[in-house]
Amino acid sequence: MLDPYPIPGDTAEILLTAEQIATRVGELGRQIATDYAGNNPLLVAIMKGSTPFVADLMRAIEAPVELDVMCVSSYGDDTQSSGVVKIVKDLDVAAADRHVILVEDIIDSGLTMRFLLEHLEAQGPASLAACSLLAREGQQAPGVRVDYLGFEIPPTFVVGYGLDARQQYRNLPYVAAYTGP
Ligand code: IMP
Ligand code: MG
């Protein structure tokens, strides 16, 4: 059964169903498996928002792959970007000479992704790519790039499939527009 969860009161509509997400994540996994054949890439999941995405993505990559996680805080508990990115937990393994793929939930201004790309680039990876489930249309600062993108979404705050509003709704199996406080 798809999308068995009722839409909570703070959300307006489902923007991406569980089925749409699964289809797209499967495509991204196949693309990454092809692009990185023989290279044993290191997926670096940015916690906590990319938790369900990276869990599904890594299983869609039918090739050797490693996983590490970083914890950053950028938004705090607000729905407005603070513009400040703080690394709460860094990588466990060395990124040097590895084929690194950063895995994010959403690129809004892109400041978080840009900061993390610079942070990892400084460690001398063999290659460095950015993968994000979502990007908000037309909001990115200049020079922000994403190599593997799931979906572009309209300029509305969203929750579900890892994305939160004040730590709630990460467990929704779909992505929905958030209309709460
Ligand atoms: P950026 O630095 O402006 O690109 O913001 C990226 C980060 O802000 C993401 O990693 C999310 O944690 C958070 N974020 C941005 N938009 C949303 C949203 O619509 N819902 C939930 N979190 C969001
Ligand atoms: Mg995040």
- Tally of domains in the chain: 1
Q: What CATH number is associated with residue 144?
A: 3.40.50.2020
164 among known catalytic residues: no
**Å from CA of 2 to ligand 1 middle:** 26
Give the residue whose CA is nearest to atom 20 of ligand 1: 158
Q: Is 123 domain-assigned?
A: yes
Write out the residue range of the structural domain in which residue 57 sits.
13-74+84-178
Give the model's confidence band at 83: pLDDT under 50 very low, under 70 low, under 90 confident, else very high: low
| pLDDT at residue number 7 | 75
The percent of residues above 90 in pLDDT, for the chain, comes to 75
75/4 Cα distance (integer angstroms): 29
Residue 179: both structure tokens together: 């209309």
**Å from CA of 1 to ligand 1 middle:** 29
Q: Is 4 domain-assigned?
A: no
User: Does the pLDDT at position 121 exceed 80?
Assistant: yes
* DSSP 8-state code for residue 152: E
User: From the candidates 3, 10, 97, 108, which is the catalytic residue?
Assistant: 108
Evaluate the CA torsion angle 169, 172, 175, 180 in order and state its sign.
negative
User: Does the pLDDT at position 16 exceed 60?
Assistant: yes
Ligand 1 neighbours (beta carbon < 6 A): 49, 74-75, 81, 104-112, 157-159, 163-164
The amino acid that residue 57 corresponds to is L
pLDDT tens-digit series, residues 147-171: 999 999 999 999 999 999 989 999 9
Q: Is 23 domain-assigned?
A: yes
Whether the model pTM is above 0.85? yes
| pLDDT at residue number 1 | 43
| pLDDT at residue number 78 | 55
| pLDDT at residue number 3 | 55
